[in-house]
Chains A and B, each alone.
Chain A
Amino acid sequence: KAGVTQTPRYLIKTRGQQVTLSCSPISGHRSVSWYQQTPGQGLQFLFEYFSETQRNKGNFPGRFSGRQFSNSRSEMNVSTLELGDSALYLCASSFGGHTEAFFGQGTRLTVV
């Protein structure tokens, strides 16, 4: 079965712009979580969506937002980009609860 698909794989944006990243979960999975990975901070939890509702949110500013659609696909938006937002953004899908999460290949965002 198809894995988690993230698009685009690479993005280059300018400071102050906004960006939208997309994640298609594994079929049947209703939970989608987003993580930011940087060399300095490592992997950090952004938020989780389940059945179109945000269930959990990490310690990130309001510039980071997301949503989930009825088909469980999710998007993540970052507004007013800063240089420090440059990172690998990973999406994970699962059946929810504390079941194993399966990750996509990520979107590499570079802010210049």
Chain B
Amino acid sequence: AQKVTQAQTEISVVEKEDVTLDCVYETRDTTYYLFWYKQPPSGELVFLIRRNSFDEQNEISGRYSWNFQKSTSSFNFTITASQVVDSAVYFCALSGTGGGADGLTFGKGTHLIIQP
């Protein structure tokens, strides 16, 4: 079975600080996909990034960056120079390819609060 763990339930930082959201996953599949989504108070999950298990290159998109480390089964997300608009719940998710009926397996989410 697949599992995604986001150990940080809530993080509160002051605007302009850097913040890292942790994600650890478990899967028996050799090919799998990792995702990050943002859920603002409106409820809609906003897609941020998709990564396949064979691509361990880190990625940067503006103030956002992702660190994928297969050796530690982690896919961490860093926001640089945080802004109030970054306040939301962030979900890490996993999609395997080994069959079964899992769809996207989500972590419990990290509630990020950016204080002005």
Binding site for B on A (CB under 8 A): 33, 35, 42-48, 56-59, 88, 90, 92, 98-106, 108
Would you call A99 and B50 a contact (CB within 8 A)?
yes
Residues 58-75 of chain B: 1 if any A CB is under 8 Å from the residue's CB, otherwise 0?
000000000000000000
Asked whether A45 and B102 contact (CB < 8 A) given A98-B95, A106-B44, the answer is: yes
Docked-complex contact B101 and A58, CB < 8 angstroms: yes
B44 in contact with A105 (CB, 8 Å): yes
For A98, give its contact among B33, B37, B91, B105 (CB under 8 Å).
B33
Are B47's CB and A33's CB within 8 A?
Answer: no
User: Does the CB pair A105–B43 fall under 8 Å?
Assistant: yes
Contacts of B81 in A (CB 8 A): none
- Give the A-binding residues of B (Cβ under 8 A): 33, 35, 37, 42-47, 50, 52, 91, 93, 95, 97, 100-109
Give Cα distance in the complex from A88 to B102, angstroms: 19
Q: Count how many pairs of residues, one from A and one from B, have CB atoms less than 8 Å apart in the complex.
A: 61
Q: What is the minimal beta-carbon distance from A93 to any residue of chain B, in angstroms?
A: 11
Mostly, the A contact residues are strand
Known contacts A43-B104, A45-B105, then 4 further A-B pairs from the complex at CB < 8 Å, ordered by chain A residue: A43-B91, A98-B33, A98-B95, A105-B44
| Cβ A103 vs Cβ B44 within 8 A | yes
When the two chains form their complex, are residues B44 and A33 in contact, meaning their CB atoms are under 8 A apart? no
Q: Is the CB of B102 within 8 A of A56?
A: yes
Shortest distance between the CB of A56 and any CB in chain B (Å): 4
- In the assembled complex, the Cα of A85 lies from the Cα of B45 at a distance in Å of 20
Give A48 Cβ to nearest chain B Cβ, in Å.
6
Residue of B101, B105, B106 with highest tally of chain A CB at under 10 A: B101
For residue B52, which residues in chain A have a CB less than 8 angstroms away from its CB?
Answer: 98
In the complex, the answer to whether B45 meets A90 with C-beta atoms within 8 Å is yes
**Given the complex of chains A and B, what is the CA–CA distance between A43 and B101 in angstroms?**
15
Q: Which 10 A-B pairs give the minimum distances between C-beta atoms?
A: A45-B103, A103-B45, A43-B106, A56-B101, A105-B44, A98-B33, A100-B50, A106-B43, A98-B95, A42-B108
